[in-house]
Every structure is written in C-alpha cells, then in structure tokens.
C-alpha cells in the first residue's frame, strides 16, 4: 500500500489530491480481496461501495457529522478510512467486528446489523442536533435498495418527508441486491429511475462549472458555486418520492467519485432532507464476486484470491438437512409453500425453489409481512414454511403472536442460526427465540439434536394445522447422529440408567451432545445420571414431567437465554405439578455476546461439558 497506509482519518483523506483517488480506490479493493481471503467476511458489499465511502468521508466531517450504515455489511471501507487497517483477525475474538462497533471507533454509530433501521436512527439523531442548536452538523444514512423493502424504512420516510428543515441526507445505494436480487414494485421502480439517468445528463451539461468554465445562468453553475437559486431545478422530487415530497438527486454513478462528491455537496448544502440515489455494482473490481449471480460472495469463508475458490470445502451443514427434506415434502404435499425474507439460499430454500418455483415467495427484508402473509396463506388452505435466521424472528414477534397464534394458523417457522453463532457478533446470535416463543399460547417448538431429527421433526411440524410450530437449529456443520437408547412416550432417552436417577439431564437441541458428555463426567464421580432429549421442548410435555419425578435433581442445558428459556419452562411446569426437586439451568446469560468463534463464546459463558459437570459436582456434594 502506498496511499492507504497514510489514511488514518477522514482528515487525511480530504488532503489527498483528487487525481489520486482512483489509485486509492484500487488499493482498497486489492486490500479487501487479500485480507478477506485470509479471514472470510462480507466481501461483495464492500467492493461495491469503495468510491461512495471515499466521497462520503471527503464531503462530510465524521464524527462531527454522523454517518449511519444500514446493516454493517458494507462498513469495511469505512473502517479503513477511519484508521483501522489491521484486518488480520476480522470477526475473530479481539479482532475487528464485521459490523460498525462503538467500541472500535468514534466514527461508528449503529452496531445492529438488522436491516431497514438506518432512517429511523438518522431522523432521531438529526432532530436531536437541531434541538441542541447544532445547525452546522449533518446526518447521513446509507441504505440499500434491499433494505428499502423493509416496512420500517417507509415508516421513517413518512415522517422525514414532512420535516423540511431536517439536515438529513439519505443515500440510496442501489445495487439491485440484498443477499439476493431485490424484488417487488420498489425494485422495479428504481430500475426505471436508473434507466432515465436524468441527473447524470444534467451533470455532464454542467460539468464546465466544476472545471472553472462557467455556463452562465445554468442551474449547475449556480448551485455548485454555493448559490441555491437554481437548486430546485436539479434537486427535485422524482418517481416514488414525488408524493412524499422529499428532494431527490440521481441516479448518480456510484463508481464516479467526483460525481458522487458533487451530488453529496448539493445534498449537504440544501438545508433539508435530500435523497441521493446512487447505483453501484456489488463485487466491483473482483471478477468472481462481480459475476456472482447467487450472491455467494456476499459473505465468504477463506478463499484463494487468485482463483476465487474456497480453501476448505465445508461439510454437510444443518441447513442442508432442511433443504433436502423440504424438497421431499414438496413432492408429497402440494399444499406446502415457502416464504423467505430476501435470504433464499442462506436459509436453505433454494432446492425447494428450483423444484417448485411457483410455491416460493420472497417478500424482501420484511419479516413482519412474511408472518402475517403466511397466516393468510394458512387460512386459505395452504401450509406455509417461513424460513429465517433465529435472530430475525424477533422482528416479527407481534405478528407471530397476534396474527398467527391468536388465529390458530398452521404455519411452520424454521429458524436457522439458532443459539450461538459467534463471529457475526451480538446481533446475529439466535439466543432469544425460545424465550420469546415460550410466551406464545398454543405454539409448539422443536429443537432437533442432529440431521435426522431435523427431517423427522420438520415432518411432524407441517402436520400441525391448528397452531404455529417452530423448528430451530444452529449454524455450521451438522452434529454427529446420537442414537436414542429408547423412546419413552415422546421423549428420547439418550443415556439410561437402571435405577431411579440421581440426576436427569435434559439436553435441548444441539446441546444434547454436551448433555451426554456431562452425564459421563457425573457418572465418573459416582452420580447416577439419565440424559433425555424432549424433542418438542415447548410446551413442556407430560412425558418429560413424568421422567423428572424420578430424579433427585434436574439439569437443563440449552443454547438460549437462561432467563425465560426452556429451563424456566421446565421449572414452572414442575412446580405446577408440586414437584420440588432442584432444577439447575445452564444457558446463555442475559447480555450481548462479543464476536468470537462459537467454541470460544461457549467457553466464555461456561456452556461446556467441563464447566457444567464441575458446577454440578459441587452442587451435588460428595457421594456417601
């Protein structure tokens, strides 16, 4: 690096001669490809916003001006330009976060990587600045066309539109994709706006003003020299923003850094809300990513930067088990349909979509709509399967409760990335779903312990037509099969004992293997132990309660919040049955977990066989 190594702050960037910016952009792209190849990360989104991020930091004065990214997928360039050049431990323990992080820099504001929130954040910040009399501070929100499919973004726009003095610049980074191609009427309208290229033609006409060749009386001349006289001729409502009345600039070529600076300068100086519509190419500058139609370069593992091929071929993952079984179910039951919120491939619905394309509905980044739409589909006689990451179910809790459960609609929710996901940080850990689900009347939740159970319990779930069902499983390679010693009612007994057990260990889902290891360690200390997998953990079954009556102590191990989790539900159900045995709950503490590997996070929070068994030996005391 000859230029990037000297850029440690936006002030350094502003001092760089404009003629060197293309070289800097190339250096950044080379750095991103080389670095992410070693660590994995979100490569495609960041390659697409290099010039845009450079222009933002040259025109605005971060951190005095606040820059809010909608999701942090595209924040790597921002990190580089604000002095964070060590990507050697990206997304690893003690390394850089994969998203903006307040702990890393005063330039980072919103850490949450859930989409469609930036406009609400930005409106709140801009209003607070105005109330404080800080009229020289600006707020900028960068939101992708994919995130604009989320309803929350439009709730914010509805309010922003009527506040004519709000110093807020909204940059629509339009690359026609989120994880997958952006869908819906909004995407089609943006495409038509890109086709007009109205602003680009006007900018070409007025370029002489920038080159000190006056086009006397032209609106570009007036505006670019600080005179607002002609601004309304250039910054004017267009298309879908017209009825709202928000001023609009664009579309601007998102890889023309000078054009971006011109547009952002106009927007900054306008004195009210302005949308700058820029079109970019995801994966720009690296052919494997730029030519990727399946968005496999949105987030990647380690790869060879010369060939674009991964260094390690991953084994079979939990998602594959769901993917394959959905295809089989689709052949058997024409009433089964699937819904994805812009994540068809990551959640494993691509196989079903290929086999039954007319039975898959991609609603964009709109989980609330997905759940209520699914309720409508169920009412009309179909059985919808809504597949989302576990952490994103939080966004649609009201719809799960009031639209689906209240009306007893048969909808199956498949929650991928449940439990500790690790490297994607606090917003991506799926650690709330069982706590949230436990308060929904009538809901049934299964936590498969291995791939075979994913298939069996998915079939059991779609057979339920009078209530919502949930299947949840973790990220990564699927667990080795654990054969049950026997089935007792609806409960699988994984480790049996001849006598009444001193300890009954309840393993929840992927924690069943930990439960088996705990049993072995307790047995070595002389404590008779039985291990069971309830399979369906909500509601707590009578069969499980019958087994708890036989034990002196009950242990519940789950990769969910220990507060309000399955352990709490088991305890409550036992107390209702007048059972007073101690229940020892092991799960995730009520705090946000820093990014690290899944194993490191589990070790840190004490959710390992060694820690659990040691704690239990101390609680049980010595054997007589």
DSSP 237-263: --GGGTTTT-EEEEEEETT-HHHHHHH
CATH class of domain segment(s) 4-290 = alpha beta
C-alpha–C-alpha distance, residues 601 and 92, integer Å: 11
Out of 24-38, 244-258, 278-292, 556-570, which region has the weakest mean confidence (pLDDT)? 278-292
Q: What is the pLDDT of residues 475-493, one digit of tens each?
A: 989 989 999 999 999 999 9
Out of 144-148, 167-171, 320-324, 359-363, which region has the weakest mean confidence (pLDDT)? 144-148
Residue with tokens 């495409």: 191
Kindly state the DSSP code that residue 417 receives in the 8-state scheme. S
pLDDT at residue 230 greater than cutoff 70? no
C-alpha–C-alpha distance, residues 88 and 50, integer Å: 20
Helix (H) or strand (E) holding 493: strand 491-495
Residue 376 structure tokens: 């409508």
C-alpha–C-alpha distance, residues 15 and 9, integer Å: 10
Question: What was the pLDDT predicted at 283?
Answer: 85
C-alpha–C-alpha distance, residues 269 and 214, integer Å: 20
Residue 202 structure tokens: 């006007």
Out of 10-19, 225-234, 277-286, 603-612, which region has the weakest mean confidence (pLDDT)? 225-234
- The answer to whether 366 is a known ligand-binding residue is no
Q: For the chain, how are helix, strand and coil distributed in percent, rounded to 5?
A: 40, 15, 40
Question: What was the pLDDT predicted at 294?
Answer: 58
219 confidence band (pLDDT: 50, 70, 90): very low
Q: Rounded to 5 degrees, what angle do the CA atoms 103, 107, 111 make?
A: 55
Contacts of 226 (CB under 8 A, 6+ apart): 269
Question: What was the pLDDT predicted at 545?
Answer: 98
Looking at the DSSP bridge assignments, the partners of residue 247 are 274
- The answer to whether 175 is a known ligand-binding residue is yes
Kindly state the DSSP code that residue 419 receives in the 8-state scheme. B
- The answer to whether 145 is a known ligand-binding residue is yes
Distance between first and last Cα of the chain: 69
User: According to DSSP H, which parts of 444-533 are helical?
Assistant: 451-462, 512-524
The question of whether 367 is a catalytic residue gets the answer yes
- The answer to whether 147 is a known ligand-binding residue is yes
Judge contact between 387 and 348, C-beta under 8 A. yes
Q: Rounded to 5 degrees, what angle do the CA atoms 251, 257, 260 make?
A: 40
List the one residue out of 246, 276, 272, 241 whose CA is nearest residue 260: 276
Judge contact between 344 and 388, C-beta under 8 A. no
Give pTM, 2 decimals. 0.87
Q: Number of helices (H) and strands (E), helices first, in the chain? A: 24, 18
List the one residue out of 442, 354, 436, 353 whose CA is nearest residue 392: 436
Q: What is the pLDDT of residues 518-531, one digit of tens each?
A: 999 999 999 999 99
Looking at the DSSP bridge assignments, the partners of residue 383 are 336
Strands 491-495 and 529-533: antiparallel
Question: What was the pLDDT predicted at 306?
Answer: 81
Question: What was the pLDDT predicted at 232?
Answer: 41
Strands 247-253 and 336-340: unpaired
List the one residue out of 380, 382, 385, 376 whose CA is nearest residue 404: 376
Q: What is the pLDDT of residues 43-98, one digit of tens each?
A: 888 999 999 999 999 999 999 999 999 987 889 999 999 999 999 999 899 999 98
C-alpha–C-alpha distance, residues 263 and 22, integer Å: 18
Residue 307 burial (C-beta neighbours within 10 Å; 0-12, 13-18, 19+): exposed
Q: Which residues of 286-306 are buried (b: 16+ CB within 10 A; e: fewer)?
A: bebbeebeebbbbbbeebebe
Question: Cβ of 15: how many Cβ atoms within 10 Å?
Answer: 11
pLDDT at residue 148 greater than cutoff 80? yes
Question: What was the pLDDT predicted at 73?
Answer: 84
C-alpha–C-alpha distance, residues 622 and 614, integer Å: 12
Q: Which fold does the domain 318-472 belong to in CATH?
A: Rossmann fold (3.40.50)
Q: Which residues of 158-191 are buried (b: 16+ CB within 10 A; e: fewer)?
A: eebbebeebbbbbbbbbbbbbbbbbbeebbeebe
More confident residue, 53 or 178: 53
Contacts of 432 (CB under 8 A, 6+ apart): 390, 391, 394, 560, 561
Looking at the DSSP bridge assignments, the partners of residue 446 are 471, 536
Catalytic residue among 29, 79, 167, 395: 395
- The answer to whether 107 is a known ligand-binding residue is no
Kindly state the DSSP code that residue 509 receives in the 8-state scheme. G
Question: What was the pLDDT predicted at 113?
Answer: 72
Question: What was the pLDDT predicted at 288?
Answer: 83
Question: What was the pLDDT predicted at 189?
Answer: 62
pLDDT at residue 222 greater than cutoff 80? no
Q: What is the pLDDT of residues 427-446, one digit of tens each?
A: 889 999 999 999 999 999 99
CATH class of domain segment(s) 486-620 = alpha beta
pLDDT at residue 23 greater than cutoff 50? yes
Question: Cβ of 401: how many Cβ atoms within 10 Å?
Answer: 18
Judge contact between 316 and 348, C-beta under 8 A. no
Express as a percent the part of the chain with pLDDT over 90: 72
> Residue 446, Cα to own-chain centre: how many angstroms?
22
Inter-residue long-range contacts of 227-231, CB under 8 Å, 24+ positions, other chains counted: 228/269, 228/270, 231/266, 231/270
Q: What is the pLDDT of residues 364-397, one digit of tens each?
A: 889 999 999 999 999 999 999 999 999 999 999 9
List the one residue out of 183, 171, 150, 182 whose CA is nearest residue 49: 171
Judge contact between 461 and 471, C-beta under 8 A. yes
- The answer to whether 114 is a known ligand-binding residue is yes
Cα atoms in the Cβ-side hemisphere of radius 13 Å centred on 281: 13
Which ranges in the chain are annotated with CATH 3.40.50.920?
486-620
Residue 321 burial (C-beta neighbours within 10 Å; 0-12, 13-18, 19+): buried
Question: What was the pLDDT predicted at 295?
Answer: 67
Which ranges in the chain are annotated with CATH 3.40.50.970?
4-290, 318-472
Question: What was the pLDDT predicted at 303?
Answer: 80
Judge contact between 495 and 519, C-beta under 8 A. yes
Catalytic residue among 51, 367, 460, 502: 367
pLDDT (mean) for 187-198: 61
The question of whether 177 is a catalytic residue gets the answer no
Total count of residues recorded for the chain: 624
Catalytic residue among 92, 282, 417, 472: 282
Question: What was the pLDDT predicted at 47?
Answer: 93
- The answer to whether 113 is a known ligand-binding residue is yes
Per-residue HEC secondary structure of 368-409 comes to: HHHHHHHHHHHHCCCEEEEEEEHHHHHHHHHHHHHHHHCCCC
Strands 553-561 and 583-588: parallel
For residue 349, the SS3 value is coil
Considering the chain, what is the average pLDDT of its residues?
A: 88
pLDDT (mean) for 546-554: 96
């Amino acid at each position: 690096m000859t230029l990037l190594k000297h850029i440690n702050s936006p002030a350094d960037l502003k001092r760089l001669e404009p003629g060197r910016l293309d070289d800097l952009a190339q250096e950044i792209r080379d750095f991103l490809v080389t670095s992410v190849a070693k660590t994995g990360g979100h490569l495609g989104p960041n390659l697409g916003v290099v010039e845009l991020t450079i222009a933002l930091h040259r025109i605005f004065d971060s951190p005095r001006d606040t820059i809010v990214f909608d999701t942090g997928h595209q924040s790597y360039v921002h990190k580089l330009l604000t002095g964070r050049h060590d990507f050697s431990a990206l997304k690893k323990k003690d390394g850089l976060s994969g998203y903006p992080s307040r702990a890393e820099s005063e330039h980072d504001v919103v850490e949450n990587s859930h989409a469609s929130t930036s406009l609400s954040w930005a409106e709140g910040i801009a209003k607070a600045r105005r109330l404080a009399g800080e009229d020289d501070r600006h707020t900028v929100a960068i939101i992708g066309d994919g995130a604009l499919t989320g309803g929350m973004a439009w709730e914010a726009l509805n309010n922003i539109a009527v506040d004519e003095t709000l110093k807020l610049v909204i940059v629509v980074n339009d690359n026609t994709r989120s994880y997958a191609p952006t869908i819906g009427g909004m995407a089609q309208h943006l495409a038509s706006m890109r086709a007009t290229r109205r602003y680009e033609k006007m900018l070409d006409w007025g370029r002489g003003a920038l080159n000190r060749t006056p086009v006397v009386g032209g609106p570009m001349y007036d505006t670019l020299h600080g005179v607002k006289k002609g601004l309304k001729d250039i910054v004017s409502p267009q298309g879908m923003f017209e009825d709202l009345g928000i001023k609009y600039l664009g579309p601007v070529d998102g890889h023309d850094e000078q054009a971006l600076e011109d547009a952002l300068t106009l927007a900054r100086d306008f004195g009210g809300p302005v949308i700058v519509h820029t079109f970019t190419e995801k994966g720009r500058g690296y052919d494997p990513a730029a030519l990727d139609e399946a968005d496999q370069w949105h987030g990647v593992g380690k790869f060879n930067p010369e060939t674009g091929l991964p260094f390690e071929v991953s084994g079979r993952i939990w998602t594959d088990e769901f993917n394959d079984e959905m295809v089989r179910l689709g052949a058997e039951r024409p009433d089964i349909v699937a819904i994805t919120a812009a994540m068809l491939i990551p959640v494993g619905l691509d196989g079903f979509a290929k086999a039954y394309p007319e039975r898959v509905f991609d609603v964009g980044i709109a989980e609330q709509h997905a759940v209520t739409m699914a309720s409508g589909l169920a009412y009309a006689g179909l059985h919808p399967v809504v597949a989302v990451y576990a952490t994103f179910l939080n966004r649609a809790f009201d719809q799960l409760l009031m639209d689906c459960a209240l009306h007893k609609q048969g909808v199956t929710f498949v929650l991928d990335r449940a439990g500790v996901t690790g490297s994607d940080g606090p917003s991506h850990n799926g650690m709330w779903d069982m706590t949230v689900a436990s308060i929904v009347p009538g809901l049934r939740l299964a936590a498969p312990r291995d791939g075979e159970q994913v298939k069996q319990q998915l079939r059991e779930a779609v057979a339920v037509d009078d209530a919502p069902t949930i299947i949840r499983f973790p990220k990564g390679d699927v667990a080795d099969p654990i054969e049950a010693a026997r089935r007792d009612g609806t409960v699988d007994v994984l480790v049996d004992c001849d006598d009444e057990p001193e300890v009954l260990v309840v393993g929840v889902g992927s924690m069943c293997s930990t439960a088996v290891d705990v049993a072995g360690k307790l047995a070595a200390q002389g404590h008779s132990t039985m291990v069971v997998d309830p399979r369906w953990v909500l509601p707590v079954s009578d069969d499980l309660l019958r087994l708890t009556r036989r034990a002196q102590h009950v242990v519940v191990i789950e990769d969910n919040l220990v507060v309000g989790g399955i352990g709490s539900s088991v305890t409550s159900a036992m107390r209702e049955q007048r059972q007073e045995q101690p229940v020892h709950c092991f799960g995730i503490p009520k705090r946000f977990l820093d990014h690290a590997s899944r194993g490191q996070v589990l070790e840190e929070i004490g959710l390992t066989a060694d820690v659990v068994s040691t704690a239990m030996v101390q609680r049980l005391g010595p054997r007589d």
